[in-house]
Amino acid sequence: MDIEIAELVERFDKGDIRLPLMQRDYVWRAKKVVRLLDSLYREWPIGSFYVWKAESSHATKPSYGGRSRAATHLDGFCGFLLDGQQRLTSLSLAIKGEGEAELQHRAFFDLENEQFFLGDMKKTLSRRVENCDPLLVPLSELHSSPSGDGAAILKVIEKTLTALAEQKKLGKNHRNRDVFRERLYKLGKMLKHKAICEEFRDELEENAFELFSRLNKGGTSLSSGDVAAARLASAATRMVVAPMRALAADAEIRGLGLNFVFLLRCLVTVHRDNCSFSKLPQKWAEDTGSIDASWKSTEKALRGAVRFVRNELGWRTRRWLPSTMALIPVVYLMAKTGKTALHGKDAAYVKRFLLIAGLRGLFRGSTETAVNSYVNAIRNARHELSHSAKALFDRIPKNRLYKMRKDDIIKTVGTYSPVMQIYQAFLYDRGARSWPSARSLRDILDEGLSNDPLAVHHIFPKKFMQDRDVPIERLNTVANYAIISQPDNAELGDQDPFDVWRGLKQNQKDCASYQLCFVASDNFLKYQAYEEFLEYRAGKLAEQLNSFLGFGK
């Protein structure tokens, strides 16, 4: 197909070229988008695009952000994009103006440094966008009409140069005018190059799928889960794809990092009593009535499992969820027993399973084998919930139920390590409060903010202690971490913890004491007592978490 990149983007936006249902979701990160734009600017090749030309219509999926447009015919045929979704979606979003796309996807060109950025890649960049810095050119200004003529581009260039001159941004005696004009012209023409667009003429959906699979062996290659997800888009099973994509777009599901492939793995597990993608038969879901019933059961169970981890453990974002794979046996358990909520002993068994699975890394390595071992335990139990929940917990190897030691706390350094994730669940369960605001962590989480409202706070701040020649390696330890609200963390900053403590009111001290584990002297908060503080607090944390996890019972 003889077509410019700009026109290809425009036709993609209009819906002339659509995404077949087998396509994956948009996954490109900012750095890849910036490299793509830079390649176009330099007139480097960006690879081929493949369009499936079929006379008959086929099911499609919305493009990124749910943008779905009416299907039209492209030069007498229906166009379905088999390869190039990530690139076309990136370009489509990059040239959008304010109000058309989120700042994180909109592209800007730094005239001075001849570099591309997306709107929120750096805080300084976001401020420059907000202040309308003329040296930072939005691509939307030069590409508002991708297939527009050169006269429109020249008009924008002169307007930009005038604004730069008015704000004295062209250098002494306007010495940068010609350089900037050349760069702007190059920027305006970067989408006018020819696209390498190959056509695939075949009416058989299975052949289109096979080509899709082969094309996607390069780049971000298809995983076994991606292959299974693509095959689910076949004519026999596509009725479940739309509700699955709708659930994958749900804020609570996305917040925990659960994507479409994860949902598919849950469905496969419920439908086949086995979570494996690697040995999944091609026609595993072709009994349409059966797969539809399995999905309805899976959806109810998945929603119930997500509510459980959110409301019982306080895990609301992916950084706090220790293991996504540990959720699959829980979804299977709830689907097989027909339950959408857990209570009493059943809830306690499942809660301990999730906590210990995260802490001990039960699903690292051969995850399919590990998940299936727990699925088998549930399947072999009687399908009453009480038997299934106990079978799930009892499947944990006994050698993984050992107590944490003081040294384990001191040696763990990650701010979002499994130990910290368990600690957050412990604080949530016990109704702990942040300080100095004295707000409960439950209330903070229940605000439903889009970003993580909790922060890991260094009780002895890094800058404060490094100024006193304490090595940073001694500061990054769970024994020096607390979990408080983001605003409280910002307020405490790098202050001397002993001064902070003395300035707290009694109710604020009570909130802090719960996490600090002080039952004796506040002299522990003097920097000279740091090593003693670590030893004391690590011992207390180990005791509390062991009790919470039921170790030693």
Catalogue the E-assigned strands of 93-193.
107-110, 115-118, 136-138
Identify the CA nearest to 492 among candidates 477, 511, 470: 511
Q: At what angle do helices 288-312 and 344-360 cross, to 10 degrees?
A: 80
Asked if residue 436 has a cis previous peptide bond (ω within 30° of 0), the answer is yes
Count CB-CB contacts under 10 A for residue 47: 13
> 196, 209, 291, 553: which is closest to 403 by C-alpha?
553
Run of H or E residues at 39: helix 30-41
Instruction: Find out whether 418 and 361 touch, Cβ atoms under 8 Å.
Output: yes
DSSP 8-state code for residue 134? T
Q: Is 422 exposed, middle or buried (0-12, 13-18, 19+ CB in 10 A)?
A: buried
Tens place of pLDDT per residue across the chain (553 aa)? 778 899 899 888 888 888 887 787 888 999 999 999 999 999 998 988 888 887 766 777 778 765 544 444 545 445 888 888 999 999 999 999 888 888 889 999 999 999 999 988 887 888 888 888 889 999 998 886 544 567 788 888 988 899 898 888 888 888 889 999 999 999 999 998 888 888 888 777 777 777 777 776 554 555 666 666 666 656 556 778 888 888 988 999 989 999 888 998 999 999 999 998 877 777 777 766 788 899 999 999 999 999 999 999 999 999 999 999 999 999 999 999 999 999 999 999 999 999 999 999 999 877 889 999 999 999 998 766 678 999 999 999 999 999 999 999 999 999 999 999 999 999 999 999 999 999 999 999 999 877 889 999 999 999 999 999 999 889 999 999 999 999 999 999 999 999 999 999 999 999 999 999 876 567 889 999 999 999 999 999 999 999 999 997 6
Rounded to an integer, what distance in angstroms lies between the CA atom of residue 260 and that of residue 426? Answer: 30
367 close to 328: Cβ distance less than 8 angstroms: no
State how beta strands 48-54 and 194-201 pair: parallel
- Residue 490 near residue 456, CB atoms below 8 Å: no
The answer to whether 212 and 4 are in contact (CB under 8 A) is no
Residues 20 and 38: their CA atoms lie apart, in Å, by 28
Whether the model clears a pTM of 0.85, i.e. scores above it, the answer is: no
Q: What are the C-alpha distances in Å from 227 to residues 47, 214, 270, 280, 281?
A: 22, 10, 19, 10, 11
What pLDDT score does 210 carry?
A: 72
CA 474 to centroid of chain Cα atoms: 31
Q: Is 438 left (phi over 0), alpha (psi -120 to 50) or beta?
A: left
φ, ψ dihedrals at 98, nearest 5°: -60, 130
Asked whether 512 and 491 are in contact (CB, 8 A), the reply is no
Element (H, E) at 79: strand 78-83
At 218 the three-state DSSP class reads coil
Residue 497, helix vs strand vs coil: helix
Q: What pLDDT, on a 0 to 100 scale, did the predictor assign at position 282? A: 72
Residue 74, pLDDT score: 47
- pLDDT of 319: 92
pLDDT digits (tens, 9 = 90+) for 415-444: 999 999 999 999 999 999 999 999 999 999
What's the confidence (pLDDT) of residue 219? 47
Tokens of 211: 């080509």
| Type of residue numbered 497 | P
Comparing C-alpha atoms, which of 72, 90, 81, 88 is closest to residue 18?
Answer: 81
Longest Cα–Cα distance of the chain, Å, equals: 85
pLDDT score recorded for residue 429: 96
Nearest partner of 475 among 542, 550, 533, 539, judged by Cα: 533
**Residue 221 DSSP label:** P
Rounded CA gap, 79 and 74, in Å?
6
Taking the C-alpha atoms of residue 52 and residue 60, their distance in angstroms, rounded to an integer, is 12
User: Residue 312 has what pLDDT?
Assistant: 96
Do residues 17 and 79 make contact, with C-beta atoms less than 8 angstroms apart? Answer: yes
Quick one: DSSP state of residue 277? S
